[in-house]
Amino acid sequence: MDVIATLKKTREIMNKYGINAKKKFGQNFIINEEIIDRIVDVSNINHNTIVIEIGPGLGALTQKLLMKAKKVIAIEIDYTLTDILKEELKEFNNLEIINEDVLNVDLKALVNKYDKEDIVLVSNLPYYVTSDIMIKIFEADLKGVSLTVMMQKEVARRILKGENENLLTLLSKYYFDVKLGFEVSKNIFHPRPNVDSTILRYLHKQNRQLNKDQEIILTNLIKNLYTKKRKTLLNNLKDLYGEELSISLLDELNINQNERVEKLKLEDFIALVKIISQFRHQNH
């Protein structure tokens, strides 16, 4: 069977089925076998591993994952591609394809089906929806599942540095230890995107600072404040907790009411959540 991750094979498949890469789905296919092998390598996959792949595309990565893993569950939004995958990868009997927008898939239920198995989630993430997919993964709280994700270099850099925090950097830092896999040039994709990419490995933090209920508050708080990030902190918090509590929350943490959400570090959010959950407890 030919390796899919070459320009020649990628073009051949696209011509055979009469398709173009769809921008609206962030389709940039990897055309470099060495990069694929490195992604599989850093993901620590063996014959006992169940892999969940988001966005298999034409199967460049899927093909190699299938050779190494026990099973690959590939979730792809574009039905023209799922039909192609079924045909091109038909020699493998360890592939399950889910034709669905990953944002509508119950990842927790999927993972629960493979209780006690070694599960790794791998994705060359579509750029247009990177943040939403990552947040979906965080919220699903997939215990024990490590992630190998490829994203834009600049986005990855912010996560690794933990500076210039935003929704994605904050939640990444809270839930995971994030490590650099390696960086790749934009030239390894067809069609070629405008920016280089980075592969990150996400490993679950052993000791998290909040309990389950508090974590729900944390995730919602960060999401809510960042969707209205132009508002002052007081106005933003007020919508969630009323004026009185919001003023005392900010006072307690010594934070100016007129600052914006970008001012808050992860530690500030954690402190806020602890006070909010204490307050809720007392008022129940």
CA distance 66 to 189: 21
Among 9, 40, 52, 56, binds ligand SAM (CB under 6 A): 56
Among 45, 69, 85, 102, binds ligand SAM (CB under 6 A): 102
Would you say the C-alpha torsion 30, 159, 226, 148 has a positive or negative sign?
positive
User: Is the CB of 25 or the CB of 182 nearer to ligand SAM?
Assistant: 25
Amino acid at 200: L
Three-state SS annotation for 92-144: CCCEEEEECCHHHCCHHHHHHCCCCCEEEEEEECCHHHHHHHHHHHHHHCCCC
Q: Examine residue 103 and tell whether it contacts ligand SAM (CB under 6 A).
A: yes
Provide, rounded to whole angstroms, the least separation between the CB of residue 100 and ligand SAM: 7
Among 40, 66, 69, 77, binds ligand SAM (CB under 6 A): 77
Provide, rounded to whole angstroms, the least separation between the CB of residue 164 and ligand SAM: 24
User: Is the CB of 5 or the CB of 261 nearer to ligand SAM?
Assistant: 5
Q: Which residues are 177's β-sheet partners? A: 203
User: Is the CB of 149 or the CB of 178 nearer to ligand SAM?
Assistant: 149
What does residue 69 show for φ and ψ, rounded to 5 degrees?
Answer: -95, 165
User: Is the CB of 25 or the CB of 92 nearer to ligand SAM?
Assistant: 25
Q: Examine residue 168 and tell whether it contacts ligand SAM (CB under 6 A).
A: no
Q: Which stretch binds ligand SAM (CB under 6 A): 44-52, 73-81, 138-146, 258-266?
A: 73-81
Nearest to 211 by CA among 278, 283, 136: 278
Q: Examine residue 165 and tell whether it contacts ligand SAM (CB under 6 A).
A: no
The tokens describing 3, both together, are: 């390796």
Residues between 9 and 38 that touch ligand SAM (CB under 6 A): 25-30
CA distance 212 to 208: 10
Among 51, 61, 137, 151, binds ligand SAM (CB under 6 A): 61
CB atoms within 10 A of CB 154: 11
Using CB under 6 A, list all residues that contact ligand SAM.
25-30, 54-57, 60-61, 75-78, 81, 101-103, 124, 126, 129
